[in-house]
Amino acid sequence: MESAVIVAIVFVSFIMLTKILVDAKTRHKLIDKGMVDEKVKFLYPYQLGIAPAALKWGMVLIGLGLAILLGQVVPHHISEEVTFACMFLFAGLGMIIYYFIAKNMAEKSGK
C-alpha cells in the first residue's frame, strides 16, 4: 500500500513538472515572437538582460556546499550547528551577491 502511494506521488509530480516546463517554454516562445501584450514581457526578466536565474541558484548551491564542507572541518561536537548556521549564512550571501550582480547587469543594459 505504501509503495503505491509513493509511486502515485512520483507520477503526479512528474506530470505536474512536465506541464509547468511545457507551459513556460510556450510562454517564452510567444514572448520571443512578440505575440503577447507589452505588459507580459516584464514578468520574464530574461528578456530584459537581467542576470539569469541559473546564476542565482548556482551561487546558492555553492554556498550550501561550502557550508557542508566547513561543517566537516570543524570539531565533531559542534559540526551540526556550524553546518546548519553556515548553510543559511552562505545561501543568504549568495542571494545578496546575486542581487548586486543582477542590478549591475540591469544598469549596464539600460533597463
Q: Do residues 55 and 99 both lie within one domain?
A: yes
Q: Are residues 75 and 96 in the same domain?
A: yes
What's the length of the chain?
A: 111
25, 27, 95, 86: which is closest to 60 by C-alpha? 95
Q: Check whether residue 39 and residue 86 sit in a common domain.
A: no
Residues 96 and 69 in one domain: yes
41 with 58, same domain? Answer: no
* Same-domain status, 70 and 109: yes
CA distance 55 to 51: 7
Tens digits of pLDDT across the chain (111 residues): 677 888 888 888 889 888 888 887 887 777 777 766 666 656 655 544 556 777 888 888 898 889 888 888 888 888 888 888 889 999 999 889 988 888 887 777 765
- Quick one: pLDDT at residue 75? 86
Rounded Cα distance between 25 and 81, Å, is 41
39 and 71: one domain? no
Asked if residue 53 lies in contact with residue 88, where contact means CB atoms within 8 angstroms, the answer is no
* Phi, psi for 92 (deg, rounded to 5): -65, -40
- Quick one: which of 46, 29, 30 has its CA closest to 111? 46
Q: Which three cell numbers stand for residue 92?
A: 543568504
Q: Is the pTM of this model over 0.75?
A: no
Residue 59 belongs to domain spanning: 49-111
Residues 27 and 37 both lie in one domain = yes
Cα separation, 26 vs 82, in Å, equals 44
Number of domains in the chain: 2
